[in-house]
Each structure stands twice: as C-alpha cells, then as structure tokens.
Amino acid sequence: MRGGRRCSLAALASLLIGGPTLAQPPSASALKSRRAASDLVKKANERIDAGDFAAAIDLYKQAYTLAPAAGLLPNIGSAYQKLGQPQDALQYFCKYLHDEPAGEAAGFAQAQVRALQIQLGNPPGDDHDACAPAKPTVVPEATRAAPSVPPPAKAAAPTRPAAAADPAWGTLAYVGLATAVVGVAALGVGTYDGVQAQHITNQIDGHPPGQPWPDNIQDLQRRGQSYEDQQVGFLIGGGVLLTAGAVLLVIGRSSGPAARPTETVLRVSPTSNGFVVAGKF
C-alpha cells in the first residue's frame, strides 16, 4: 500500500509458549521464563510505540530466547523493517515461514518477504516460496550463437539533464510551514494588542474618584477599543493560519516521495495463555 494508508489486521492467533498443554503441569522454571518473556514483550511493545525500534528488537530477541514462540519472529522482522534494515527483516520473516509455514501470520509474512525481495532487487518467481533464491534465467540454445558484429557507433545524442524530482509535495509542505509562521506572528501581534488594551483599561479603571479626567480621555478610550478590536482579529486569524499551516505541513510531508511506500507493524502482546499476534499495514 502507498505511504500514509493503513489497514488494521484482526488478532491472528493465540500462540502458546512451550506448545500444547501436556498432562504434566509446566515446571516452576518454565513458568518463570514465560512470565519474564511476557514482561519483555510488554516493554518491547512500549518501545515500538515510542519509535525506538532498535531497543524493541533487543527486547523481542530476549523474550524469544526465554520462550521461543514463533509468533515473535514476524514482530522482529517488522521492527527491522521500520528500522530500515530490509536484509535482517527478510531473515526473520523467512525464519517464521520456515518454522510455521501454515501459521496464522504466514500470509502477512509472505507479503512482506515479497516486498522486501523487490526492495533488495531480488524479485521472487511465480512459485509460492518467496524466500527461495531467484531461479537463474535459462538462455535458449538458439540464442547462444556467435556474437554478431556490432553496428557502427553512432554519435551520442546530447544528454538532457535528468528531470528534477516532483517538488509538489515539498511546495505544499513549505507553504504549510510559511502559513504556520505567519499564524504565529499574528498571534504575537494579537497578544501585544491585548497587553496594550489591558494597560489602557487599567489606567482608566485606576483613575482616582473625584479628580477631573485628563483632556485626552476620549482619545485614550478610542485607542483602548482599537487595541481590543485588533487583539480579537489577530488572535482569531493567527489561530486559523497556524492550524491550516500545520495541516498543510503534515499532508505535504506524508504525501511526498520521502514517505515510505509501505508501513507495517506486527506486534505480539502477552496474554494469560501466551501471546496474541496483531498488526497493521
């Protein structure tokens, strides 16, 4: 999917650490390992939410060492994907497909593996195993004839400068930034006018009773009212400009070429029985 669009996945499965329930209850050490792994997964999820993918990967790996649930492997792959390390992400998605080829997250993992292979320049073949290396192209026997004599070289056509990257998104973002700056300036002017209006109001309200008003009292009142009117106009206009600028800035940045073509999040949350795998992309 294109950057900025997300689609929530339902909870895929409840993955029990340590396999199905046996006749014998788990040992105390096994229960302790499960609890420790659950705590690590919770901390890893918090680091994912905070955008600290490197720390989340380390915590997921610690949890997998304590309780090797296959459902943690797509989590690690997704975190590597967000960190911008496609080769490592591919390794963990493929490990999950090797361990759980028919797992509930297999479809998601297959899709990510294909996208990563294309990103790495290794588009998978038509077979269903996207982790398999690309098959070499078989050259037909008829095409293996002696090399033909190349035609005479032609004068190279003058090269044209490469077209600049589409600046539409950048222009929109910069317009939003400029609009926000103007909004902040308008808010500053409105604040100044409010201070001046309040100062004049304090002068009038603080006039000693019984003493004659100064000759410029009417002019002072007009100035106070003018400052108050300007305060309202600049504060309202500044707020509108600041909001519009922020919206344009966000839209410009999220719709430009710098936005990632896909954004995937697959996470495992601990439950009383084990882990629940969920995600969005």
Structure confidence at residue 14 (pLDDT): 36
Return the C-alpha torsion angle 82, 83, 88, 91, nearest 10.
-20
Q: pLDDT per residue over 197-225, tens digit each? A: 888 888 788 777 777 777 787 887 888 89
User: Domain boundaries in the chain?
Assistant: 13-18+29-133+261-280, 169-204+217-254
Calculate ∠ Cα 6-11-15, nearest 5°.
135
Burial 225-248 (b: 16+ CB within 10 A, else e): eebbebbeebbebbeebbebbeeb
Q: pLDDT per residue over 102-147, tens digit each? A: 889 999 998 999 899 899 988 876 555 678 765 555 555 655 555 5
Nearest residue to 240 (alpha-carbon basis) of 189, 194, 183, 185: 183
CA–CA dist 78, 221 (Å, integer): 65
Domain boundaries 13-18+29-133+261-280, corresponding CATH code: 1.25.40.10
Which amino acid is present at 48?
Answer: I
Structure confidence at residue 241 (pLDDT): 83
Structure confidence at residue 49 (pLDDT): 94
Q: pLDDT per residue over 50-102, tens digit each? A: 999 999 999 999 999 999 989 899 999 999 999 999 999 999 999 999 999 98
